Amino acid sequence: MSQNKQFLSVSEVQQRIISDIKAIDGIEQVALRQALNRILAQDVSATFDTPPCDNSGMDGYAFSSKELTNMDAQQSLKLKIIGQSFAGHPFTGKIAAGEAIRIMTGAQVPDDADTVVMQEHTETPDEHTVVISPVPKAFANVRKAGDDLTNGQTFLSRGKKLSPTDLAFLATQGIAEVKVTRKLRVAFFSTGDELRSIGEALREGDIYDSNRYSLYGLLKNLDIELIDMGVIPDDRSAIEQAFHSAANIADAVITSGGVSVGEADFVKETLEKLGQINFWKIAMKPGKPLAFGSIGNSLFFGLPGNPVSVIATFYQFVQPALKRMKGQDIVLPLSIKAKTSELLKKRPGRTDFQRGILTQSVTGELTVKNAGAQASHVLTSMSRANCFIVIPAESGSIEAGEMVDVQPFEGLIG
Ligand code: AMP
Ligand code: MG
């Protein structure tokens, strides 16, 4: 299609943006709780085995597997109870042939024992005797020292976004602080003479600036330090001034509006004067125009003005780029397959990001349907949606019952 010659595909633009971006300099050492959701800036290795000692996986009785020699599972085993090992209170004596100790989950298994029978498979005719039936397999129910981590093993790698599990994982090694990449600073503003901020009165033809609120939320979810620069009018010197001060204070600058072909050319002019910017037309819907480049030491993203285009282009291009700047290893949106329950209308030419509602049946089947009117200024369907349905550029309409690619919105599934 000749029209598509001048258009770049979504993945082409993703590749161009991501391959250019390096992780920012700047590392900080933070306490474990502060490390949640931050990006690890170091590899972390174990300094001792975990678990540190053999311990019991069950409440029951510990004894030597030698007691089981030549026994079959039908036979019962009678042992003398000579002591106990509770979590935090290990048994310090010796266990001889014919002897066992009472043991609890997590309690140290003494050197003389290597097998634990669960309590439910025992009887105690008197307080000094345990009768085991059925007998366990040799070495059963013992968690070996080092079977989670061995001393010296690298267990978390640079670039990992630290999850609640990772905090626990670090805690098992007694690690109180880790190095993470510093927080990104992002400045953003809206451009347009028609835009008013909340609290101002609307004049004839005006609308409220809503993009600064979607951007606020999207950036906040990425744990970014925000610099909200408000609305900048369609005015050459105001725009130039805004770009200038934004680039001075931020790692990245994000604007919305004013990048469409033919409109307010001074935005382009200004950017070309201040930095190195590409103006791309992307074969996607919504969100065709995108400006990307650098002003000074800052990266610049000029998003289209329409509210849904802002969210769609942020999700496909800006979020992966910011994650890369933070040093994160996985950056592109997760895509899964779901069955569409209805016809999805589309013309071949551009990649569609249709607003969808994804549901999961009790049997686990994923189904998606259209969330409503798809025009790029309509927030009703965007608000109702919990995913984008991604339909490839060359594809036409999709019949009900076919499988489609779906990107669940971040936050919904992690
Ligand atoms: P533009 O890209 O500046 O031509 O804007 C495209 C459309 O998006 C126009 O209808 C604008 O009024 C609208 N728009 C631009 N910026 C915003 C904003 N910050 N909030 C809401 N709508 C906007
Ligand atoms: Mg405008």
Contact in structure between 108 and 85 (CB atoms under 8 Å) = yes
Tens digit of each residue's pLDDT, the chain (414 residues): 444 458 999 999 999 999 889 999 999 999 999 999 999 999 999 999 999 999 999 999 999 999 999 888 789 999 999 999 999 999 999 999 999 999 999 999 999 999 999 999 999 999 999 999 999 999 999 999 999 999 999 999 999 999 999 999 999 999 999 999 999 999 999 999 999 999 999 999 999 999 999 999 999 999 999 999 999 998 889 999 999 999 999 999 999 998 876 655 667 778 888 999 988 999 999 988 999 999 999 999 999 999 999 999 999 999 999 999 999 988 899 999 999 999 999 999 999 999 999 999 999 999 999 999 999 999 999 999 999 999 999 999 999 999 999 999 975 443
Instruction: Give pTM, 2 decimals.
Output: 0.89
- Ligand approaching nearest to the C-alpha of 188: 1
Ligand 2 centroid – CA 245 distance (Å): 21
Query: Is the CB of 256 within 6 Å of ligand 1?
Result: yes
Residue 345 phi/psi, 5-degree rounding, is: -80, 140
Pick from 323, 392, 320: which is nearest to 17 by CA? 320
What is the DSSP pairing of strand 207-208 with strand 195-196? Answer: parallel
Query: Is the CB of 356 within 6 Å of ligand 1?
Result: no
Q: Which residues surround ligand 2, an ion (CB under 5 A)?
A: 192, 257-258, 305
290 forms beta bridges with 280
Query: Is the CB of 34 within 6 Å of ligand 1?
Result: no
What is the DSSP pairing of strand 129-132 with strand 122-126? Answer: antiparallel
Query: Is the CB of 263 within 6 Å of ligand 1?
Result: yes
